């Protein structure tokens, strides 16, 4: 919730800064900014909102009783994101689909990756395979249960997982969670700004990734026995 509020403040702040600076030259009367002085005031208010979005504190979370591999590798974090989907397929088929989904199965995947400034994975290679052999290190792989991968850069530790759990009869609950820990005030505030700005696109990528896994797993589960 704090990151969502921070993101809103960052975007509103940027919008106010742009509108205010434009109005300092030519007042945007349609936006209620009728004078250059008011435009400067709006720009200053935007700076304040942006700063608040950056410095809004994210509480440090500590996992007291680890239950998952992600808990073991990321027991302390400040930023996190969680998504889930219910898949009408057994865990083994969900696990197989997890390792098979390619970029072309996720609409706008390449566009969203470019917007985040990330290197694009090869189109002919499964996304998770590209991630765990390039940007991230595979930390844990318990087939049918959980996959954890992450990386540690100067001052930043990023961990992410996919976890599969039995749900109601014939269904698997597939979840993905990302946890980040930033060391030091400078790195913390810098990452807070980045994280809160890219969070909408990041969340969309994760939701669509889960959906692609769901579709592939359910298609495999629907095949007659002996054909997969």
Q: How far is residue 31 CA from its own chain's centroid?
A: 33
CB 55 within 8 A of CB 47: no
**What confidence category does residue 228 fall into, taking pLDDT thresholds of 50, 70 and 90?**
low
Token pair of 214 as six digits: 């769901």
pTM listed for this prediction: 0.84
**What confidence category does residue 117 fall into, taking pLDDT thresholds of 50, 70 and 90?**
low
DSSP 172: E
Residue 66 has pLDDT above 70, yes or no: yes
The SS3 call for residue 101 is coil
The reported pLDDT for the residue numbered 225 is 64
The reported pLDDT for the residue numbered 57 is 86
Token pair of 89 as six digits: 């397929």
Q: Which residues pair with 140 in a beta bridge?
A: 148
d(CA 149, CA 158): 9
Q: Mean pLDDT of all residues in the chain?
A: 89
Question: What is the mean pLDDT of the segment spanning 183-196?
Answer: 90
Q: Is 190 exposed, middle or buried (0-12, 13-18, 19+ CB in 10 A)?
A: middle
């Amino acid at each position: 919730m704090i990151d969502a509020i921070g993101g809103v403040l960052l975007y509103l702040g940027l919008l106010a800064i742009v509108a205010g600076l434009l109005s300092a030259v030519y007042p945007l009367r349609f936006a209620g900014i009728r004078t250059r002085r008011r435009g400067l005031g709006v720009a200053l208010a935007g700076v304040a909102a942006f700063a608040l979005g950056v410095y809004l504190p994210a509480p440090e979370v500590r996992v007291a009783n680890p239950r998952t591999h992600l808990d073991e590798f990321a027991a302390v974090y400040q930023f996190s994101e969680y998504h889930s989907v219910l898949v009408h397929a057994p865990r083994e088929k969900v696990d197989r689909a997890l390792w098979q989904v390619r970029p072309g199965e996720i609409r706008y995947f390449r566009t969203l990756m470019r917007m985040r400034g990330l290197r694009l994975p090869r189109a002919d290679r499964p996304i998770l395979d590209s991630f765990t052999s390039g940007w991230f290190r595979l930390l844990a792989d318990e087939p049918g249960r959980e996959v954890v991968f992450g990386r540690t850069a100067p001052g930043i530790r990023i961990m992410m997982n996919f976890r599969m759990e039995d749900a109601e009869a014939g269904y698997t609950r597939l979840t993905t969670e990302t946890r980040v820990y930033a060391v030091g005030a400078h790195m913390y505030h810098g990452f807070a700004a980045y994280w809160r700005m890219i969070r909408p696109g990041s969340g969309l990528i994760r939701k669509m990734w889960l959906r692609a896994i769901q579709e592939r797993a359910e298609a495999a589960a629907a095949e007659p026995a002996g054909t997969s």
